Each structure stands twice: as structure tokens, then as C-alpha cells.
């Protein structure tokens, strides 16, 4: 929508008198093409794109004034973007941003199109430039895209590009709907520690407000230069309590949004306050049952499935298995991003399998369509649980083969699979690999902590008991002591 508005705003720019004095016939022809194209844009004529293409390739285009050439290229990039021609849009946006006239919309178009074609390096560069020049416009950037971009840069080991982007976002005071992106600041702090920049790393880390992120830093020796001198700032219980207070305030301030409700549900799951997970969302369910949900909440289509998902988890942790299943069934029936609900279907399949209902689990995951690499790992984890329930050795072996071959996508999913299969030596070797790998280490350390007791399904308990056996092994303990520590926390394990 922002780009469509920009099209209309820029459609009146090139005037005839802007052409240089004494233009050649070729330049005059090029200007006429530009004017016709902009007239088409103003009238939403589908011929605008082809007309702009003709102008861009006209013999006299290079002779047009700079501002006219910029606006023409920029408009062509916008139209290409709006018509789903992302490669073309990106190429044109790169050209448009080389002009001094390039504004925030031009750079946002370059960022968006680069992201769409998975040119994450240029997307990061574009976002860095955008943030430097127009920090007040960061609300136009989709937060999820920033988080995904950071993840992709980590996978590609584009560490310096990632650091520059995150530094600009930090200095601009970027937040996600008033909440600090604590995991990003943790990762940025680590980058500065690795450069020996303790003061900068500390400044970044002191903006962290998430108790779970603080926990992940406390147990990882790489952060000791920050956490040991500032223990109070990273007190997990204090931060979680502050998060609950702040999220309640967001709920009150935004009664038309479900995001604060799901955020608070997750905090209550973390602190074992399962009845509150249900009570704060009872009214949402009631309104939805009256067919009022979509009218009452602006983010209903994106978040209601997660309201139900969190309620299912709360029922599960209270051993109310039937209610947990019934609620997850409702969640899985809702669309996700306008298509098949992959997330809740996988969660439902896992729940059925962990409760010894493999046929229902198989039905839940029978038709999921295209999956992300992580989604496919989780799906194979469910298939393994189904195979174990059915004592189907070929199916179990097939799932394990996939999980082993793709362990880099989500090593903790393979970890659980090895434990479920009773392959404790291989599970220990994987855990040691995770501790030794800088990219995997923090998640492994978080998994190894002692948390508050929770009610588990029988299958979860099997995995958990074998996990404790693996963690206690001398070789695992030796690897642990080199890089981190195990402490006891009053919160529950984080959601997976």
C-alpha cells in the first residue's frame, strides 16, 4: 500500500519545461514517452509499465534532466514491484537509489525487492542506508522482515553486514511496537565483544528487557564481561515480572489487538500461570464464537490461531489432554498467512503422537504443502513420533535419515529424535558438537539449564529423562565447563 501511494505521489513530477534548452529530437521523443507513461500512472492505466520501459530504452533518455531520469526509473521500479516482477523492481531500484534525489520510498523499494529475491546482503545494505537517513520512518519496515533478514545473514556468515545493520537500528532506537528486540541486541552485543568493544557491547546489552534473553546470556561465558559486572540488570525473575507488567499495559492500551494478549499468554506459560493463560483470552474466544472476532481485533487473522495454540499449551500443562487437543484442532483449522496452517497442524500432529494417537497425528499432517527448512525438520520430528507409536521401523529410519542429513537446519529437533530413539551416544556427540559450534552453542546451553517442573506427556518425559542422562555424562560436562554453566531458574523451559 505504501508503494501504491508513492506511485500516485510521484506521478506528477516530470514537466515538459524540465528538458534542457535546445533538446534533440531523440530527447524530445523520450520526454513525450515519459509524459505519456506518467499520465497512464495517474489514471491507473495498465499501459504505464510498458510505456515506462519504452522511455527507459529510448535513444534520448540519457539526455533528459537528472531529476526526470530518476523519477522515471523510480516509477518503473515501483510498478514492477506492485506487479510482482521483483527481480526487475530490484534492478531498477538499485539504479534509482544512485541518484541524489532518492528518497525513503526509493530505498524502501530497494530493501523490499532485495528481500523478495533473497538478495539478503543488498537488503541489509538498503535497510542500513534507510535507517541512517530516515530513522523516523522505521515504522514503515515490517519487523518480521528485519528478524528474518538477521537470521539469513547469520546463516550466510555475513557478520559485518549484519553488525552494521543492527548498529544502525540500535542507534535509531528501533523497537517492535514499543518492545525492545532483545534477541537482536544480544546478538549485536556478542559481535562487539568479539571485536573487543566491551563498552559498546555493554551499552547495547543494557537495552535488553527479555528475561529469556538475559538467561541465555548468563549461562554463556562469552557474555561474562557484561553479565558479571551487571548482575542486577540481567536478573531473570525481575525482567520477566517487568515484562508481564509492561505487556499488561500494552493490552490495556490496545484493546483492539491480539498481539499483546498472545505475548502475555507466553509469559504466563513461562511462569507456570496456566489458568491466567486461559482467563486473559476467554473474552477473545467468546467474541469469536459470536462471529465478532474479526471486527473486534485488527490482527485477528494473524494472531487468533496463536491465542488458541497458547490455550492448548496451557491445557496440556494442566494434564487436560482432551481440551488441549480440541483447542489445537480449532487452531489448525484456521488459515495461516492466507494458506494452510502449517504451524498448528504440526503442533497438533505432535500432540496427538505424544499422547499415543498416531492415526490422528498422521491425519493432522497429511496435507501441508510447501514447508520452510525448519518446518520440514519439525514435520519429520512428528513423523518419527508417529512411527515410534506404531512400532514402524522403516518409517522411523526414514525420518531419522532426513533429520540427520539436515541437522544444521534445527539441531535441537535431531537432538530430541535421538533421545526418543534411545541413541544416547549419538545424542551426547551431537550435544558436544552444539556446545563447540559458536552458532549452536547458546541454544544448547539454554536447553541444559534446570527449570521449574512441568507436567509432561509420556513421550516428553521419556525424552526428558534420557536428556538428563546425556547431560550428566563426563564428556558432555567437560565440554560444558569450557563454554558455559548450568544454573537453576524458577521459570519453565521456553516454548519450542
Are 491 and 429 members of one domain? yes
Q: Which residue has the cell 526526470?
A: 68
| Domain span including residue 422 | 410-496
Indicate whether 17 pLDDT > 90: no
Indicate whether 339 pLDDT > 60: yes
The pLDDT, as a whole number, for residue 252 is 97
Are 359 and 278 members of one domain? no
The pLDDT, as a whole number, for residue 51 is 83
The domain boundary, picked from 73, 96, 117, lies at 117
Residue 51 covered by a domain: yes
User: Helix, strand or coil for residue 23?
Assistant: coil
The strand pairing partners of 339, in sequence order, are 336
C-beta of residue 463 within 8 angstroms of C-beta of residue 416: yes
Are 431 and 388 members of one domain? no
What mean pLDDT is predicted for residues 233-257?
Answer: 98
Give the whole-angstrom CA distance, residue 30 versus residue 36: 10
Structural domains of the chain, count: 5
Are 289 and 393 members of one domain? no
The pLDDT, as a whole number, for residue 495 is 66
C-beta of residue 53 within 8 angstroms of C-beta of residue 33: no
Are 2 and 96 members of one domain? yes
C-beta of residue 93 within 8 angstroms of C-beta of residue 123: no
**Position 462 confidence tier, pLDDT thresholds 50, 70, 90:** very high
Are 187 and 292 members of one domain? no
Are 2 and 106 members of one domain? yes
- Residue-wise pLDDT for 394-410, tens only, equals 999 999 999 999 999 99
Mean pLDDT over the full length of the chain: 93
Residue 294 covered by a domain: yes
Give the CA radius of gyration of the chain: 27
- Residue-wise pLDDT for 278-298, tens only, equals 999 999 999 999 999 999 999
Indicate whether 357 pLDDT > 80: yes
Residue 156 covered by a domain: no
Give the whole-angstrom CA distance, residue 337 versus residue 340: 8
The pLDDT, as a whole number, for residue 21 is 53
The domain boundary, picked from 95, 117, 139, lies at 117
**Position 496 confidence tier, pLDDT thresholds 50, 70, 90:** low
Q: Cα dist. 124→112, 176, 320 in Å?
A: 10, 18, 46
Give the whole-angstrom CA distance, residue 483 versus residue 445: 9
- Residue-wise pLDDT for 477-493, tens only, equals 999 999 999 999 999 99
The pLDDT, as a whole number, for residue 315 is 98
Q: CA nearest 214: which of 227, 201, 202, 203?
A: 227
Residue 167 covered by a domain: no
The domain boundary, picked from 409, 430, 457, lies at 409
Are 405 and 429 members of one domain? no
The grid cell for 122 is 543488498
The pLDDT, as a whole number, for residue 46 is 67
Are 71 and 111 members of one domain? yes
Are 207 and 113 members of one domain? no
- Residue-wise pLDDT for 27-76, tens only, equals 998 898 888 888 878 877 666 788 889 989 999 999 999 999 999 999 99
Are 179 and 266 members of one domain? no
The pLDDT, as a whole number, for residue 337 is 86
**Position 20 confidence tier, pLDDT thresholds 50, 70, 90:** very low
What mean pLDDT is predicted for residues 244-256?
Answer: 97
The pLDDT, as a whole number, for residue 44 is 77
Q: How many residues does the chain have?
A: 496
Give the whole-angstrom CA distance, residue 234 versus residue 237: 9
The pLDDT, as a whole number, for residue 36 is 86
Give the whole-angstrom CA distance, residue 374 versus residue 2: 31
Are 393 and 373 members of one domain? yes
Residue 326 covered by a domain: no
- Residue-wise pLDDT for 64-119, tens only, equals 999 999 999 999 999 999 999 999 999 999 999 999 999 999 999 999 999 999 99
Tell me the pTM.
0.91
Residue 430 covered by a domain: yes
What mean pLDDT is predicted for residues 344-373?
Answer: 95
- Residue-wise pLDDT for 170-214, tens only, equals 999 999 999 999 999 999 999 999 999 999 999 999 999 999 999
- Residue-wise pLDDT for 286-336, tens only, equals 999 999 999 999 999 999 999 999 999 999 999 999 999 999 999 999 999
Q: CA nearest 423: which of 395, 396, 405?
A: 396
Residue 373 covered by a domain: yes
Residue 256 covered by a domain: yes
**Position 8 confidence tier, pLDDT thresholds 50, 70, 90:** very low
Amino acid at each position: 500500500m505504501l508503494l501504491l501511494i508513492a506511485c500516485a505521489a510521484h506521478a506528477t513530477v516530470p514537466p515538459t519545461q524540465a528538458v534542457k534548452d535546445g533538446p534533440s529530437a531523440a530527447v524530445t521523443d523520450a520526454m513525450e514517452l515519459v509524459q505519456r507513461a506518467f499520465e497512464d500512472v495517474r489514471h491507473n492505466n495498465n499501459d504505464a509499465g510498458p510505456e515506462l520501459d519504452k522511455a527507459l530504452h529510448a535513444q534520448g533518455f540519457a539526455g533528459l534532466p537528472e531529476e526526470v531520469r530518476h523519477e522515471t526509473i523510480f516509477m518503473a521500479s515501483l510498478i514492477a514491484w506492485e506487479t510482482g516482477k521483483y527481480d526487475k523492481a530490484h534492478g531498477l531500484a538499485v539504479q534509482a537509489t544512485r541518484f541524489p534525489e532518492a528518497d525513503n520510498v526509493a530505498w524502501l523499494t530497494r530493501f523490499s525487492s532485495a528481500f523478495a529475491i533473497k538478495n539478503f546482503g543488498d537488503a541489509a545494505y538498503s535497510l542500513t542506508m534507510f535507517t541512517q537517513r530516515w530513522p523516523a520512518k522505521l515504522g514503515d519496515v515490517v519487523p518480521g522482515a528485519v528478524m528474518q533478514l538477521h537470521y539469513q545473514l547469520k546463516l550466510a556468515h555475513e557478520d559485518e553486514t549484519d553488525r552494521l545493520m543492527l548498529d544502525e537500528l540500535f542507534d535509531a532506537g528501533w523497537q517492535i511496537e514499543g518492545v525492545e528486540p532483545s534477541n537482536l541486541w544480544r546478538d549485536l552485543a556478542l559481535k562487539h565483544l568479539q571485536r573487543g568493544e566491551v563498552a559498546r557491547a555493554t551499552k547495547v546489552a543494557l537495552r535488553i528487557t527479555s528475561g529469556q534473553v538475559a538467561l541465555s546470556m548468563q549461562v554463556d561465558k562469552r557474555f561474562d564481561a557484561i553479565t558479571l559486572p551487571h548482575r542486577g540488570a540481567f536478573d531473570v525473575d525481575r525482567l520477566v515480572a517487568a515484562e508481564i507488567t509492561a505487556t499488561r499495559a500494552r493490552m490495556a492500551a490496545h484493546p483492539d489487538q491480539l498481539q499483546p494478549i498472545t505475548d502475555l499468554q507466553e509469559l504466563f506459560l513461562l511462569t507456570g500461570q496456566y489458568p491466567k493463560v486461559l482467563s486473559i483470552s476467554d473474552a477473545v474466544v467468546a467474541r469469536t464464537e459470536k462471529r465478532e472476532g474479526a471486527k473486534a481485533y485488527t490482527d485477528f487473522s494473524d494472531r487468533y490461531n496463536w491465542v488458541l495454540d497458547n490455550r492448548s499449551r496451557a491445557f496440556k500443562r494442566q494434564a487436560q489432554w482432551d481440551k488441549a487437543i480440541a483447542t489445537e484442532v480449532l487452531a489448525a483449522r484456521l488459515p495461516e498467512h492466507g494458506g494452510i496452517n502449517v504451524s498448528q497442524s504440526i503442533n497438533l500432529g505432535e500432540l496427538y503422537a505424544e499422547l499415543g494417537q498416531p492415526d490422528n497425528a498422521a491425519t493432522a499432517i497429511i496435507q501441508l504443502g510447501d514447508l520452510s527448512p525448519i518446518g520440514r525438520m519439525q514435520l519429520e520430528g512428528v513423523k518419527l513420533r508417529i512411527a515410534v507409536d506404531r512400532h514402524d521401523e522403516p518409517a522411523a529410519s526414514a525420518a531419522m535419515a532426513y533429520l540427520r542429513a539436515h541437522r544444521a537446519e534445527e539441531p535441537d529437533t535431531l537432538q530430541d529424535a535421538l533421545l526418543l530413539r534411545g541413541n544416547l551416544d549419538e545424542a551426547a556427540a551431537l550435544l558436544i558438537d552444539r556446545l563447540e559450534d559458536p552458532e549452536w552453542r547458546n541454544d544448547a546451553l539454554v536447553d541444559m539449564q534446570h527449570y521449574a517442573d512441568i507436567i509432561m506427556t509420556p513421550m516428553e518425559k521419556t525424552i526428558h529423562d534420557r536428556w538428563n542422562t546425556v547431560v550428566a555424562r563426563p564428556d558432555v560436562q567437560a565440554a560444558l565447563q569450557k563454554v558455559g554453566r548450568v544454573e537453576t531458574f524458577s521459570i519453565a523451559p521456553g516454548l519450542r
